[in-house]
A = this chain, B = another copy of it.
Amino acid sequence: MSELRIVALGSPGEVTEGSDLSDLVMAAARERDLVLVDGDVLVVTSKVVSKSEGRVVPFDGSDEEKERLIAAESRRIIRRRGGLRITETRHGFVNANAGIDVSNARPGTAVLLPVDPDRSARGLRARLRERHGVSPAVVITDTFGRAWRHGVADVAIGVAGLRAILDLRGRPDQNGRVLEVTEIAVADEIAAAAHLVLPKAAGTPFAVVRGLDPSMFGPGSVADEIVRPPSGDLFR
């Protein structure tokens, strides 16, 4: 646990509906002379996952169309200002404009978030195992704004083979006292870490994180572990 490596893989070129991301990941890793192994975490930005799943819709750039798309992807609109909406998506994520993205999309189109990003992560992991014989954990990321703090950061929207939350409750601290608040959102920290090597404009949707503690691996889900029911949330 004392050393991590985070490696950005090269761009896979244009991803379209039906593209097999497992093949693209393996090709990008080979080009980087990197052999993926179990115990690695493969980080994938949501954009290419969405494109491979056909979550691309026509978008004429008009305010009306944007409004309609955002409404269709959201449970509710939390705030509005100008063209910006803070939304609670159908997944329960709170983000800007329901995560709908027109940057790095073909002109005349917009990219929606995957319908079920945990399922997407499990699917990619299964494909890697079946076709390439390797089972890294998978984290699907997107870039979110935050309450209380300026700037955006990458977070996890789906995981497979990784605990989204590492629960250290009950472990003693250095003085033998039991720790209090120790449910660490490791999936979000991995997403943030990978974002440091994935500058948005550079078109590199894949990164590999190597060296994580084995305790972080296991069955996990962003929807079940990280999405917070409004009733229990004192921070909002």
Contact = CB atoms under 8 A, between A and B. Distances in A.
Interface of A: 1-8, 78-79, 81, 84, 86, 93-94, 96, 103-107, 143, 145-155, 164-165, 168, 171-175, 177, 179-186, 188-190, 192-193, 195-197, 199-204, 211-213, 225-228, 233-236
17 contacts: A2-B7, A3-B5, A4-B196, A4-B197, A86-B235, A96-B181, A104-B174, A107-B175, A148-B233, A150-B165, A151-B164, A151-B188, A152-B181, A168-B200, A173-B201, A179-B200, A179-B201
A212 B196 contact: yes
A235 B145 contact: yes
**Copies of this polypeptide in the complex:** 2
Contact of A149 (B193, B197, B227): B227
Contacts of A188: 149, 151, 153, 192
A193 B236 CA distance: 24
A181 B152 CA distance: 8
Contacts of A192: 153, 188-189, 192-193
A12 to B, nearest CB: 12
Contacts of A7: 2-3
Contacts of A93: 148
A146 B6 contact: no
Contacts of A4: 4-6, 193, 196-197
Given A6-B3, A146-B146, A165-B151, A234 B185 contact: no
